[in-house]
Amino acid sequence: MRGNEDHGPVRYGPLAPDPGLPVLPELAAVLAAASGRTRPEPPGGGPALREAARGYWERRGLHGTAAGIAAAPGAQPLLLALLGAHGGDVLMPRPCPAAWTPQARLLGRPAYHVPSPAECGGIPDPYALLETVRRVRAEGGRPGLLLLSVVDDPTATVAPPELVREACEAAVGEGLHIISDETWRDTVHRSRDTVLLSPAEMCPDDVTVLTDLSGTLTPAAWPAAVARFPDTPPAATRHARTLDILTALGALVAGPVAHAAAHALEEPQAVRDRAGRAAALHAEVAAAAHRAVLGAGALARPPQAGRHLYADLGPLRPRLAELGVTDSMELEEYLTDRLGAPAAGGHRFGDELGALRVRLGTGPLLGATEPQRTESLAAAEPLALPHVAQALDGFAAVLGALC
């Protein structure tokens, strides 16, 4: 068994799927009003930002104090600080978000990928997790952390509560601390029909929750992420260590961004409405893109959240080989060129290089201009809009050429 697996010269990671939507005017006004703030937030965020984050999680059934919150300018530096504050080797599902493995590598920490169950991505198969932990220990490793995401990038799936419970119980039983990335929890396409359970609800003393606000609340150009620590003495020590690392990195949230992030985390009506409309729009477009993927003879789990889907073009391997595409790096280049939009190969998410898997975003299908994207957001039937229909036809044509 090897940690820190390397698939070759991948020098940068793909950005998270873009929403393809204009900034909410209310948030833009809040940011503009705070533009005169010349000082960054203190390490881990100021009182207003941390209190807003506490309230955000309180409304989701995760109780705690503002003292147990840490903020940073984006998920990557915050995750790096969290990993640095914990000891031991890192385990994560396969596939997993693109930033996870590089963060472990930066710290020189062994990272092990555990296969996901057939039903979903984002969490490890519980039995495979136990086997991996035991093998790592037998080889002299020190498994200490499990990263997971109940609402997953890249697979756009939501893990069933029973599987989440089994994976968490297996991890805690083996002495692992869990970092739950819940960036995408508010992008669930059909929230009334989907049961979402945070690992922190099941194992409150053993789970740190991470949320990147660009998942739902703020634009990616305004980097802000927050972490919620358990209310225990060991967690308080890790919280302090996390702040030390953020300080050493200079990873401080900009003052105007912190003001806008706190406003978004308080979830006034305009923010809630935008999040709901965006989720509904991406649900319709992702469902149409999923139909196009299946129509071309490829495979993909039905997308349940986010603004992307994860396609397996393995059934199209003979035709792709004729085109000179034999692995996911070549597939990424081929589809990105023809779609005119990022199509990140599965090797970036921990999948095997030879597997022809790719993450396809729905943001580029909403329109080429801001007026078109605004129209898509407001439309009762977005798929009927000419620019959306044309974009989906082009998407289907690129895939259809591979049949």
Instruction: Give the DSSP H/E element, type plus range, for residue 114.
Output: strand 111-115
Confidence of residue 8 (pLDDT cuts 50, 70, 90): very low
pLDDT at 13: 65
pLDDT at 96: 96
Sheet containing 111-115: give its strands across: 69-72, 225-228, 207-212, 177-181, 143-148, 89-94, 111-115
Q: What is the DSSP secondary-structure string of 217-259?
A: TS-TTS--EEEE--SSHHHHHHHHHHHHHHHHHT----HHHHH
Q: What percent of the chain has pLDDT over 90?
A: 92
Each residue's pLDDT tens digit, 68-86? 999 999 999 999 999 999 9
pLDDT at 304: 97
Separation of alpha carbons 111 and 1, rounded Å: 11
Confidence of residue 14 (pLDDT cuts 50, 70, 90): confident
Helix 370-378, helix 269-295: angle, nearest 10: 100
Whether the per-residue pLDDT at 11 is higher than 60: the answer is: no
Enumerate helices (H) and strands (E) in the chain, giving the number of each.
Answer: 14, 11
pLDDT at 12: 61
Mean predicted confidence (pLDDT) in 262-274: 97
pLDDT at 192: 86
How many other CB atoms are found less than 10 A from the CB of residue 38? Answer: 8
Whether the per-residue pLDDT at 53 is higher than 60: the answer is: yes
- The mean pLDDT of the chain is 94
Separation of alpha carbons 79 and 334, rounded Å: 31
Separation of alpha carbons 360 and 355, rounded Å: 15
Going by their DSSP bridges, the two strands 357-361 and 343-345 should be labelled as antiparallel
Whether the per-residue pLDDT at 3 is higher than 60: the answer is: no
Residue 157: C-alpha distances to residues 39, 122, 150, 300, 351 (Å)? 39, 8, 8, 10, 16
Whether the per-residue pLDDT at 109 is higher than 70: the answer is: yes
Whether the per-residue pLDDT at 308 is higher than 90: the answer is: yes
- Distance in Å from the first CA to the final CA of the chain: 37
Q: At residue 36, what are phi and psi to the nearest 5 degrees?
A: -80, -5
Each residue's pLDDT tens digit, 319-372? 999 999 999 999 999 999 999 999 999 999 999 999 999 999 999 999 999 999
Separation of alpha carbons 22 and 35, rounded Å: 19
Confidence of residue 10 (pLDDT cuts 50, 70, 90): very low
Each residue's pLDDT tens digit, 167-216? 999 999 999 999 999 999 999 999 888 899 999 999 999 999 999 999 99
